[in-house]
Amino acid sequence: MSEDAKCRLDKWLWTARFFKTRSLATDAVDTGKVHVDGDRVKPAKEVRVGQYIHIRRKELEMEVVVRGLSTQRRGAPEAALLYEETPESISKRENLAVTREYEHGQRERGMGRPTKRQRRDIKKFTGIDW
């Protein structure tokens, strides 16, 4: 990790482990899911230390500040040193996780599909073999 090195945006996203492959990172930048300092950019855009990068993947939205540059993909602990997530982004993600938990209805046992025991009772009562 060096401070003065040049690094393409798609390569940095791949080395920071936001995307599994570099081509996925390139596609995300091309489709507008990654913005640098609030602007839509191209995959070859040079990343500099201190820039804000907004990344959107499925339900995940993150705003990170570039803290280091690297062109080699390394382990997750080293990749985490390349960026720092903003406090607003962290709180937004936590709130989203809580609301996502409550969106899924908690059902009581026995509600919905019948249990194995209930299926046996139904078979005995109706005489129908499923």
CATH code: domain 9-104 is: 3.10.290.10
**Structure tokens, 15:** 């080395």
What is the rounded distance in angstroms from the CA atom of residue 62 to the CA atom of residue 120? 50
* 49-90 tens-digit pLDDT: 999 999 998 888 999 999 999 989 999 999 999 999 999 999
pLDDT at 1 over 60: no
Chain-wide mean pLDDT for the chain?
A: 88
Angle at 64 between CA 60 and CA 67, to 5 degrees: 145
pLDDT at 26 over 60: yes
* 30-53 tens-digit pLDDT: 999 999 999 999 999 999 999 999
CA dihedral 103, 55, 58, 24 (to 10 degrees): -160
Report pLDDT for 100.
76
**Structure tokens, 116:** 């194995």
Radius of gyration of the chain (CA): 23
pLDDT at 7 over 80: yes
